[in-house]
Structure 1
Amino acid sequence: MQAFVHQGTELQRTKVNEPGLKTNEVKVAIKVAGLNHRDLHIPERRGHDPEPLVLGSDGAGIIEAVGADVHSFAPGDEVIINPGLGWLHQSEAPPVSFEIVGMPYNGTFAQKYVVNEQYVEKKPSYLSWEEAGVLALSALTGYRALFTKGKVAANETLFLPGAGSGVNTYIIQFAKAIGARVIVASRSDVKRQKALELGADLAIDTNQNWERELENETIDLVIDSVGGATFNRSLAILKKGGRMVTFGATTEDEVTINIREFFYGQYQLFGSTMGSKQELQHMLQFMEQYQIRPVVDQIFEYKNIEEAFHYLKEAKQFGKVGIRF
């Protein structure tokens, strides 16, 4: 079968053996797979590993075959892939055994994907294949950051440094669905406008003085995935006693803060990553209730997957990028 792998120092489209099927597993014929920033960084994390690894954490498709002990699914079922392995029940942090699909285990950038039946969910019928294929990782990350960790309420104001990331496009819609106020920042005029069209209440230029621009706002919650470049700027506009959730670091991993100002401000800082199977199921119910749809920026054909990687690396997207098989 065709698959996109990292091997040695190369990313390449190639043929690999079709995976076998254990008694508790399902085999999914992938229709659309979702590209994430995680996929861009796996080659540097693996180094010169000579073993081919199929990349990809997101995907949706049709179950082609099931093992003898599978009882929840049948051939022909339309499903989405749960990108988190080993995390079934909601908890304060993921179990030690938690892994993300696509490393160290083979992922979804292939014609066929095999996994334990616990890690697929029925595809919401109102979503297209393109929407379902790019859904789970970013949406689940946003859902946990906003609700489980951030505990956003309807009368609160949320600030997002960054408007165009896949996760933030979900967070904007989730927060607006319950009636929260949403403010975003972006350097791009186009992305600011699209965020407003998606439901954001205010969009400011990242290069502006945030404290001056937001002096009349009360920011209850910040969800920051940028890291070093925005952490202290975000903290400066957060109300005393406010909450900050961080789930990523697209800039520097290390942050220096004035700890005295932090504890006098009584700020609350939470780390978050992905989410459990239980949260994924709650999220799918929430999305169906409010008819929330993923923002799909562009879908590339599998033969153009290298172009998709370059497109995401250049941060040109607003929303999600997918690969059609």
Structure 2
Amino acid sequence: MKAIRLHELGGPENLVYEDVPDPEPGSGEVVVKVRAAALNRRDVFVTRGMYPGAKPEALPATLGSDGSGEVVARGEGADGPDEGTEVVINPALYWGDDPAVPGKEYRILGLPDEGTFAQFVKVPGDHVLPKPSHLSHEEAAAVPLAGLTAYRALVTRGQVREGETVVVPGVGGGVATFLVQIASALGARVFVTSGDDEKIEAAKKLGAEGGVNYNAENWSKELKGMAGGVDLSVDSVGGPTFDALLSLAKPGGRIVSFGATAGPVEKLVLPKIFLKHLTVLGTAMGTAEEFGAMLDLYAERGLRPTINETFPLEEATAAMGLMEKGSGVGKIVLDVPA
């Protein structure tokens, strides 16, 4: 089969499109013929050695966490859909028995396990679920990692409720678009920030009520005037933005953090947390149950993810270049050849 492989660290330019043996399912495993895969920041970080476990001794490896396709083979005792079923892959492998935190065996598909940037991928049988029928394979491939992260952050950790005001800073690609879409579908008033006015307009099409450009000098005051007090912020930015979110929060509000693209919070004002009785929560990825609930929500509400651009599998390096530029809105997808 054809696959995108990383043989040495140093960046996306080191990816190679090559032939590798087809996977064979072991006990409890299935093989999925991949129709489409999607990129995540994780993939770029792996190529640069900036992700846990991304070391020379772990290579070569097939990257990719997100994928959609059909089950074509089942190992002995494998759970999940029958052969021929169109499926979506849950990339959060072996979470464990405690829904609060992942166990020691937990890992994400696409290093150390061979990932979805290939014509076939082998995964545990209980980690594939039927594809929502209204989604194309390209759309379904865009959902797993980002959709699961957004669902857990909003629903499980953030406990979002209908009518609440939610802020999503740094809207554009990846998880942020899913946060806007899911929060809006659950009846929240959603507001966003971005350094690009076009991304704010795109977020409005996904359900956001409004947004502000964070390049403005007093963007947080502008957002306060627009949204009022904030019940829940879901943040992947960190840095100075996090302190602004503390100021925007209502007394008793919640902030869920799942990233820090702007770096550490250098001037954390603790009285804003304890005097306002705020709850600050951390999160990342999610359980198999949350993955199923997230897919059910997309099926029941007819939700569709936003796709930024689609590339052929062999152009994965160019696709990662677009991701690093940060231009456009939504997920970047790879079409996998039959």
Residue 14 (str. 1) matches residue 18 (str. 2) = yes
CA distance in 2, matches of 1:181, 1:197: 13
Matched, 1:38 2:42: yes
1:210 aligns with 2:219: yes
1:233-267 per-residue CA deviation (whole Å, 9 max, x = no partner) reads 22221122210001112221465412233222221
SS at match of 1:215: helix
Question: Secondary structure in 2 aligned to 1:251?
Answer: coil
Conservation of the 8 A alpha-carbon contact between 2:72 and 2:83: yes
The runs of at least 4 consecutive aligned structure 1 residues that moved more than 4 Å come to 253-256
When structure 1 is superposed on structure 2, of 106-115 and 89-98 the one drifting more is: 89-98
> What's the TM-score, normalizing by structure 2?
0.92
Amino acid at match of 1:21: P
Q: CA deviation at 1:47?
A: 4.0
- Answer with 111-120 or 82-91: which moved more: 82-91
Cα deviations by residue, 1:165-215 (Å, 9 ceiling, x for unpaired)? 221211111111121100001111111111112210011111221332133
Matched, 1:99 2:126: no
Distance 2:223 2:293 in 1: 33
Question: Residue 72 of structure 2 aligns to a residue in which SS?
Answer: strand
- d(CA) in 2 for partners of 1:250 and 1:13? 30
2:212 and 2:223 in contact (8 A); partners too = no
Q: Distance in 1 between matches of 2:15 and 2:262?
A: 23
Change (3 A) 1:68 1:92: closer
Q: Which deviations, in whole Å up to 9, do the C-alpha atoms of 1:107-144 show, x marking residues without a partner? A: 11111101110111111111101101111100010000
Report the CA distance between 1:92 and its aligned residue. 1.5
Percent identity, aligned pairs only, is: 37
Name 1:69's counterpart in structure 2: 77
Deviation at 1:222, TM superposition (A): 0.6
How far is 1:88 from its partner?
Answer: 5.7
Distance 1:22 1:47 in 2: 26
Q: Which runs of 5+ in 2 are unaligned?
A: none
Alignment of 1:215-254 (within 5 A): 215-216=224-225, 217-253=228-264
- For 1:30, the aligned partner's letter is V
CA deviations 1:255-303 (Å, max 9, x no partner) are 5412233222221100011110001111111111111111111111112
Mapped partners of 1:215, 1:299: distance in 2: 37
Partner of residue 264 from structure 1, selected from 264, 275, 280:
275
What is the match of residue 317 of structure 1?
328
TM-score (norm 1): 0.95
Contact map agreement 1:184 1:200 (CA 8 A) in 2: yes
Q: What is the root-mean-square deviation of aligned Cα atoms in Å?
A: 1.6
**Structure 1: gaps (5+ residues):** none
C-alpha distance in 2, partners of 1:171/1:82?
A: 18
Give yes or no for the alignment of 1:152 onto 2:160: yes
Question: Is the deviation greater in 102-111 or in 1-10?
Answer: 1-10
Opposite residue 313 of structure 1, the aligned amino acid is E
Structure 1 residue aligned with 2:31: 27
- The answer to whether the 8 A contact 2:80-2:128 is kept is no
Aligned to 2:313, which of 298, 302, 310?
A: 302
Counterpart check, 1:83 vs 2:91: yes
Q: C-alpha separation between the residues in 1 aligned to 2:160 and 2:113?
A: 34
CA contact (8 A) 1:90 1:278 kept: no
Structure 2 Cα separation of the partners of residues 126 and 34 of structure 1? 18
Among 188, 191, 200, the residue aligned to 2:196: 188
Give the SS at the match of 2:211. strand
Which of 278, 283, 300 is residue 294 of structure 2 equivalent to? 283
Distance in 2, matches of 1:245 and 1:285, equals: 23
Q: Does 1:167 align with 2:167?
A: no
1:2 aligns with 2:22: no
